[in-house]
Chains A and B, each alone.
Chain A
Amino acid sequence: MSIDKKKIKHVSKLARISLDEKKIDSLTSDLSAIFKFIEQLNEINTDKIEPLSSILNEPLRSRKDEINDGKIREKILENSPKKNEEFFIVPKVIE
């Protein structure tokens, strides 16, 4: 699988990262080398192997959905780059 500029542009759109032309060039060459390295995996036969998605032997636990904190709206908003007293503010979405 070769990586070209078109693919990098597409993936950067999916990842919501804007890239200038220079960056697209350097990432195309970096990722081409990395994918060449990754594709060593094609040497190995995995037809009858089950994928490993968790190394834990037991299934994940569920817990009760209980509120045990809260009332820290101001503190949470303090970390926001743009806010008013009650809300996070983002660029206008609806005209």
Chain B
Amino acid sequence: MSDITKKSLTEIVRLVKKKEIKSEELTQSFIKNINNDKKLNSFITKCSEIALNNAKNFDENPKLDKLLPGIPIAVKDLFCTQGVTTTAGSKMLENFIPNYESTITKNLWNEGAFLLGKLNCDEYAMGSSNETSFFGNVMNPIAENTVPGGSSGGSASALAADLTPATIGTDTGGSIRQPASFTGTVGLKPTYGLCSRWGIVAFASSLDQAGPMTKTVEDCALMLEAMVGFDKKDSTSINRKKESYSKNLTENIKGLKIGIPKEYRVEGMSKEIDKLWKNGEKILKDSGVEILDISLPSTKYALPAYYIVAPAEASSNLARYDGVKYGFRSSKGNNLIEMYENTRSEGFGDEVKRRILIGTYVLSSGYYDAYYLKAQKVRQLIKNDFDQSFKKVDAILTPSTPSSAFKIGEKKNDPISMYLNDIFTVPVNLAGIPAISIPAGLDNNNYPLGLQLIGKPLDEQKLLNIAYAVEKKINFKQTLNRWWEK
């Protein structure tokens, strides 16, 4: 059989179901690739032994009617996995072993998949380049010394390098879609509330949402189907009937209306990205879609509002790391308060500290109205923009990112220029709506670029269908020279 690790998840599932490959052989193939991961640094924890045991158990008693039968899957190290270290990319949780399993991973395992490893990410998912991880930066398989994006950078890198057949990430301001765009893969941020947040290390609770990262749109539909479901343990989980996204996938999108928002044509955007966007428009037209110019006037204010809301929620969520119940504790300090202060000073990295301080400041006495309340009002305006547009169109087409992958270190010392990476992805999180990034072409350096489709709340099926149709016509191909194995 030709290299199984290069195949799509859908194809691998088909081969397992037809008994043309055993789970053990499949798992061995991925482990072989994972053992060459050193230069990519996409894994924080490898679970080869656990995975092989699970594969053998599956082969002895194969349950083939599941969505992900006998499929090994590595996940972002932000999902708590029972008995397996979960670090969130932080020194603070270097030795933390959860006693429970996150709902999302449990859902995957219930569909026949099992854990292959835990993937590197920015510390507490705060970053756009995977450079804030305590476990070192991750490299993008497209080129040495290039970032994979973030915060789900390890997930994107491992997926693109064929170290896992599919993966999951979390997206608070673009952390699934931006790395997907940087690595030539597919990433979906679902509607807020569709995927349970229970057991995911929290960053900004009103924005955090887990989603699939895959090689194809078809795989994305399959993974989403396995992930979703009402969870009473998450108070913001949406209770609704499950959909068969993969079964209902169709490339017939004739008659749909898709909007092009003029505010996303930002100053200084490269000609290549503009060309890519125009090409997306053309493909949609050729598929029988009507293209409409729309306006999302508050777009400019999404990123500043995000940098109030997200740090505010983070400062509150991260207050739990006090060195008492779990995680790192500093050996310095003469009393309880000093112990807290030293623990948090030594345990958190620079970007996390930066955001905790921003958040603490905007929530502190006397500043709440000027910052947090103002940001929530702007959030309302951004949501109103989308609501108005969705009266006229079924979905919105934009670029996923303002540039392709950049070099390691290039933006590390300039927080604002790093934050600007998420300019096209952040509005979606503030409005709680779904969006998908699909690979759409290569720039002059042969680095991949993505297009983003934004949909109405809970309209994931339509979004996947449009992405499916566009994917077929774009026929994106990228050849990796696998430099990290040399």
Using an 8 Å CB-CB cutoff, how does the interface string of A40-72 with B read, 1 for contact, 0 for none?
Answer: 110110100111111110001101000000001
Min CB gap B339→A, angstroms: 5
Q: Which residues of B contact A38 (CB under 8 A)?
A: 304, 307-308, 371
Known: A11-B364, A31-B358, A52-B377. A41 touches B305 (CB 8 A): yes
**Is there contact, CB below 8 Å, between A31 and B339?**
no
A75 nearest CB neighbor, chain B only: B99
Cα-based distance from A55 to B206 in the complex (angstroms): 8
- Choice from A18, A41, A46, A60 contacting B342 with Cβ under 8 Å: A18
**Is there contact, CB below 8 Å, between B340 and A16?**
yes
**Is there contact, CB below 8 Å, between A50 and B380?**
yes
Residue A92 interfacial (CB < 8 Å)? yes
Cα-based distance from A88 to B339 in the complex (angstroms): 14
Known: A55-B432, A79-B326, A80-B324. A15 touches B383 (CB 8 A): no
Residue B96 interfacial (CB < 8 Å)? yes
Residue B373 interfacial (CB < 8 Å)? yes
**Is there contact, CB below 8 Å, between B377 and A78?**
no
Q: Which residues of A contact B305 (CB under 8 A)?
A: 41
Selecting from B8-16, B231-239, B245-253, the interface stretch reads B231-239
Q: Which residues of B contact A5 (CB under 8 A)?
A: none
**Is there contact, CB below 8 Å, between B336 and A90?**
yes
B96 nearest CB neighbor, chain A only: A79
**Is there contact, CB below 8 Å, between A27 and B326?**
no
Known: A8-B357, A41-B374. A55 touches B192 (CB 8 A): yes
**Is there contact, CB below 8 Å, between A90 and B378?**
no
A-B contact pairs, 15 of them (CB 8 A): A15-B344, A16-B319, A35-B358, A37-B304, A40-B304, A41-B374, A49-B380, A52-B383, A53-B376, A56-B192, A63-B232, A88-B325, A90-B339, A91-B336, A93-B336
Cα-based distance from A49 to B385 in the complex (angstroms): 13
Chain B, 336-371, CB within 8 A of any chain A CB: 336-342, 344-345, 348, 353-354, 356-358, 360-361, 364, 370-371
**Is there contact, CB below 8 Å, between A61 and B378?**
no
Min CB gap A33→B, angstroms: 6
Cα-based distance from A56 to B357 in the complex (angstroms): 28
**Is there contact, CB below 8 Å, between B301 and A40?**
yes
Interface of A is mostly: loop
Known: A7-B361, A11-B360, A55-B206. A78 touches B97 (CB 8 A): yes
Min CB gap A84→B, angstroms: 13
Residue B298 interfacial (CB < 8 Å)? yes
Min CB gap B85→A, angstroms: 11
**Is there contact, CB below 8 Å, between B415 and A15?**
no
Chain B, 373-408, CB within 8 A of any chain A CB: 373-381, 383
Q: What is the count of residue pairs linking A and B with beta-carbon distances less than 8 angstroms?
A: 152
Chain B, 293-344, CB within 8 A of any chain A CB: 298, 300-301, 303-305, 307-308, 315, 319, 322-329, 333-342, 344
Cα-based distance from A18 to B328 in the complex (angstroms): 15
Query: Considering residues B304, B326, B360, which has the most beta carbons from chain A within 10 angstroms of its beta carbon?
Result: B304
B374 nearest CB neighbor, chain A only: A41
**Is there contact, CB below 8 Å, between A15 and B356?**
yes
Min CB gap B454→A, angstroms: 14
A93 nearest CB neighbor, chain B only: B336
- Choice from B303, B344, B361 contacting A16 with Cβ under 8 Å: B344
**Is there contact, CB below 8 Å, between B236 and A27?**
no
Residue B480 interfacial (CB < 8 Å)? no
- Choice from B192, B340, B377 contacting A50 with Cβ under 8 Å: B377
**Is there contact, CB below 8 Å, between A82 and B329?**
yes
Known: A52-B379, A55-B431. A80 touches B354 (CB 8 A): no
Query: Considering residues A35, A39, A52, A90, which has the most beta carbons from chain B within 10 angstroms of its beta carbon?
Result: A52
Residue A4 interfacial (CB < 8 Å)? no
